[in-house]
Amino acid sequence: MNATWRQRAACRGLDPEIFYPASDEEAEEAKAICASCPVRQLCLEHALAFRERDGVWGGLTERERRRVLRQRRKSA
């Protein structure tokens, strides 16, 4: 896997717990960090491609990523 984008991740070195909130409601802190991340789109595409189940990736929670996948399937 090409992980170069990870080196530019805004979450690098931060407490990973921030990105694994107990619920979507508690994901705000992670989402705020992702919002200013220069590799947000790459991170999101990675999570979608690898079907990452847990945590916030590219600013989206698992539930939100499932929605994106559903929408993409519909419009494919």
Largest CA distance in the chain: 37
As given in the structure block, the two tokens for residue 9 are: 């991740």
CA dihedral (5, 47, 75, 35) positive or negative:
negative
Residues within window 6-65 making contact with ligand SF4, judged by CB under 6 A: 9-11, 19, 33-34, 37, 39-40, 43, 56-59
* Candidate segments 5-13, 21-29, 63-71, binder of ligand SF4 by CB under 6 A: 5-13
Output 23 or 75, the one with its CB closest to ligand SF4: 23
Query: What's the distance, Cα to Cα, between the start and end of the chain in Å?
Result: 25
Give the interface with ligand SF4 as residue ranges (CB under 6 A): 9-11, 19, 33-34, 37, 39-40, 43, 56-59
